[in-house]
Amino acid sequence: MTTTPAPRPDGRPRKQIHLGAHFPGVNNTTVWSDPRSRSHIDFESFEYLARRAEAARFDFFFLAEGLRLREHKGRIHDLDVVGRPDTLPVLASLAAVTDRLGLAGTINTTFNEPYELARQFATLDLLSGGRAAWNLVTSSDAFTGANFRRGGFLDYSERYERAAEIVDVARQLWDSWSDDAIDADPETGAFLREGAVQRVDHDGKHFDVHGTFTTPRGPQGHPVLFQAGDSGEGREFAAATADVVFSLHGTFEDGQVFYRDVKDRLAAYGRTEDSLKILPATTVVLGDTAEDAAEEAALIRRQQVSGQTAIAYLEQVWGRDLTAYDPEGPLPDVEPDVDNASLTRGKVRHVKDPGPVVAAWREKAAAKGWSIRDLVIEVTTRNQFVGTAQQVADDIDRYVQEDASDGFILVPHLTPEGLDPFFDSVVPLLQERGSFRTEYEGTTLREHLGLELPGVGGTQAADLEGARA
C-alpha cells in the first residue's frame, strides 16, 4: 500500500518518478553471449519485457534502432547484437498485447520524409489508444546514409535544421484534423464534419508538402516526442521541440547541471518546466549486499568489454590496426593516425583530433596501473546504480527529488529478463514511499508523463529557427 508521500528536502511536494524500459539495440551493452540471454529478434522477447514493464506500471517501453550494422575492418562487428526487425511493426504488435504501456520508437529524421513519419506515428497512436512516442534522432554519417540517398548524408550543420522542419510539418499534418472530425452520420451521408479536415501547404528548405492528410488525429493529439542530444544545439532543439529528453550524464552533480540548463531554456519558447521531462539512460545492478552488487557490476563490465572489444574500441580512436597489442597489457606506444577515420565504419569518432584524448588516457592508465581493457571499461561505463534494492531505490529517488532528473530509462544487460530484479524489488520500495504509481491513473502516455494535450495548431514551438524569432 502506498504511504503518504513525504515532502522533498526543500519542502515542495514529492515528484513522481517516470520510468521507461529500454529494449537494447545494435551497438549496445547487451551481453548476448551470457547463457541467460535470449533472442533479440523473436517477438516473444519484445512481448516479455513489455508485459513485465506494464505489470510494474512503467511509463513506457523504449525501442532503440540502428539503420546500418557497424563494421570493423570491413566485417560486421560480431561482438555487437546484430539484426533487428523494423521498429514500427514491433511497436504496433506490442500495442495488441499491452493496454497502458507507452510505446516509444527511435526513427531517424535525416533519412525519412515527414508525411510518412507523421502517418506512421499517427496510426500507431490510434491503434494503441494514445500510447505512441517518437524518439527523434539525426545522423551526419555518410556510412549510414549510403543506404538512403545519393551522396549519403547531410552536412553536420543541417541535421537539426532538417529535423526541426520534419517536426514542424508532422505537427501541421497531425493538427490538420480536428478532434471531432469524423461525424459518420448515415442520415445526412456525411462522414466528415464540414471544415474539420484542412489542407496542408508547406514550402520549406527541405520539404514541400501539399495535400490532405489521410490519418485522423490520435488520442494524444501529437505522439510524445523524445529527443537525445547533449550539444548546445541539441539542448536548444529539445527546449523548442521535445516532450522528453533522453540524456546521458555520469554523476548526480552533472545531472543537476544538465537538468537546470535545459529547463532554463524552456521559457524562451513559452514553455513551463513541467512540459519537458528529462530521463537519462542508466543501468542497475542489484545484490544482497553492496559488496555483492559491486562484484556483480564488475563482472558484467568484464563481460561487456572483452579483450577483443577493448582492442576494437581503441582502434576507433587510434585509427590503426592494434591487434598485435595485448588487451591486458599497457596502452599502445604508437601515435594515432589522425587521418584514418574509416577503420571502423558506422562508429563516429568522438573527437576530430584524438591526440589529446590519447595523451590523457595514457596519463590516467599509468597513474592507475590500468591495462587497455581496464581503461576501456572505465571510459565506456555510463551512469549506473549499484547496490541493494533499498540503496538503489534511495539513489533513484534522490536524483528525482533533488532535480537531477525526472526519472530514468533503464537499460538491461540481459534480454529480455534483465530488468526482472528491478521490477520485483526496487519498484515496490519506490511505491511504498509514494514516489511511483501503484496503478495507472490515465490511459495515454501523455497522461502517464503529466504532459498536456496539445491543441490544434500546436502549443509548442516546432521550428527551431521560427521559435527563436
Q: Express each pLDDT in 111-170 by its tens digit.
A: 889 999 999 999 999 999 999 999 998 887 777 778 887 666 777 778 889 999 999 999
Rounded CA separation 343/340 (Å) = 7
Helix %, strand %, coil % of the chain (to 5) = 40, 15, 45
Residue 62: name the closest of 326, 445, 450, 462 by CA.
Answer: 445
Q: Domains of the chain, with CATH numbers? A: 16-286+387-447 (3.20.20.30), 288-378 (no CATH)
Residue 59: name the closest of 20, 94, 93, 106 by CA.
Answer: 20
461: pLDDT confidence band, cut at 50, 70 and 90?
A: very low
Rounded CA separation 122/219 (Å) = 9
What is the per-residue DSSP string for 225-249? EEE---SHHHHHHHHHH-SEEEE--
- pLDDT, position 104: 98
- pLDDT, position 87: 93
Between 348 and 167, residue with greater pLDDT: 167
Residue that is written with C-alpha cell 532554463 in the block: 264
Of the candidate ranges 6-20, 244-258, 341-355, 390-404, the one whose mean pLDDT is the lowest: 341-355
Exposed, middle or buried, 226 (CB in 10 Å: 0-12/13-18/19+)? buried
Output phi, psi for 263, to 5 deg. Answer: -65, -35
- pLDDT tops 70 at residue 11: yes
Average pLDDT over residues 290-317: 92
Of the candidate ranges 19-33, 101-115, 174-188, 315-329, the one whose mean pLDDT is the lowest: 19-33
Distances (CA, A) of 170 to 119, 161, 200, 345, 368: 8, 14, 10, 32, 51
DSSP E strand stretches across 65-186 = 71-72, 75-76, 102-108, 132-137, 182-185
- pLDDT, position 460: 39
- pLDDT, position 2: 41
- pLDDT, position 296: 96
249: pLDDT confidence band, cut at 50, 70 and 90?
A: confident
Between 166 and 6, residue with greater pLDDT: 166
> Which cell is 436 given?
511511483
Is the distance from CB of 22 to CB of 382 less than 8 angstroms?
A: no
Rounded CA separation 199/211 (Å) = 5
Average pLDDT over residues 362-374: 96
- pLDDT tops 90 at residue 421: yes
Rounded CA separation 432/438 (Å) = 9
- pLDDT, position 359: 93
Rounded CA separation 45/24 (Å) = 11
Give the pairing of strands 224-227 and 190-192: unpaired
Q: Quickly count helices (H) and strands (E) in the chain.
A: 16, 16
Exposed, middle or buried, 394 (CB in 10 Å: 0-12/13-18/19+)? middle
DSSP E strand stretches across 59-121 = 60-63, 71-72, 75-76, 102-108
- pLDDT, position 149: 75
> Which cell is 272 given?
513551463
- pLDDT, position 458: 38
Tens digits of per-residue pLDDT, 41-73? 899 999 999 999 999 999 999 998 878 777 777
pTM, full prediction: 0.90
Q: Which amino acid is at 463?
A: D
- pLDDT tops 60 at residue 212: yes
- pLDDT tops 60 at residue 462: no
- pLDDT, position 239: 94
- pLDDT tops 60 at residue 220: yes
Give the pairing of strands 224-227 and 244-247: parallel
Of the candidate ranges 69-73, 78-82, 234-238, 432-436, the one whose mean pLDDT is the lowest: 78-82
Q: Which residues contact 218 (CB under 8 A, 6 or more apart)?
A: 122, 125, 126, 130, 132, 174
Angle at which helix 114-128 crosses helix 159-175, to 10 degrees, equals 50
Rounded CA separation 194/175 (Å) = 16
Judge whether 106 is annotated as a binding position. Answer: yes
- pLDDT tops 80 at residue 194: yes
Output phi, psi for 29, to 5 deg. Answer: -100, 15
Tens digits of per-residue pLDDT, 250-288? 789 999 999 999 999 999 999 999 999 999 999 999 999
Is the distance from CB of 463 to CB of 168 less than 8 angstroms?
A: yes
- pLDDT, position 68: 77
6: pLDDT confidence band, cut at 50, 70 and 90?
A: low
Mean pLDDT of the chain: 88
83: pLDDT confidence band, cut at 50, 70 and 90?
A: confident
